Structure 1
């Protein structure tokens, strides 16, 4: 038995496609060649459009969002520096606190799981698993 069953509808569609391509190759080989070349050119153009232009543009935008403003951009750079100082100050305040947050009296919550007694000697129906 095959691991992947073949759908008869798809088999008919692919069969008709092969017959159509064979017929076009026999009756009009130049038209078939042009059809293949135009399809390849369109596919290559779409591939280049997505990989070179659109993906590059989106990755640059993501980088600029995470990197912060550039140094020579005036007011934005000054506010970014103030933000960085505030973050460093907060980090210093957190590190100067005594002890870690875990040792400050925190305790794990008890779980609310219970054991359910059942028939342990019953055989399981393996057809359902």
Structure 2
């Protein structure tokens, strides 16, 4: 009985916490994010409008169309894919926001490939404009 009361109190305390998600503040703007390739830290930048995302990374420019599913989720589709992997649509989800300065996001392939695990990655985007 004691364990049940302790568990109930714990559930009540943690259920009161709500993550801030003001996704509309991040639908458009200019953002930076950090990522790692082969153990090397890099910084990417992207400019997003309501329907377009222009990505700048490693001296390259890549554009994708943006299709919003709801206020916090959207699909990125490469406009001019050069490889088969660039043809895969990406599902992006804003998990939490920090005022109007940054947001935590998760991304994964929009469609699961047969016989391959669906891997989700997380990152943080910082507003620069």
TM-score (normalised: structure 1): 0.24
Greater relative CO, 1 or 2 (CA 8 Å, sep 6+):
2
Asked which structure has the greater CA Rg, the reply is 1
Q: Between Structure 1 and Structure 2, which shows a larger proportion of helix residues?
A: 1
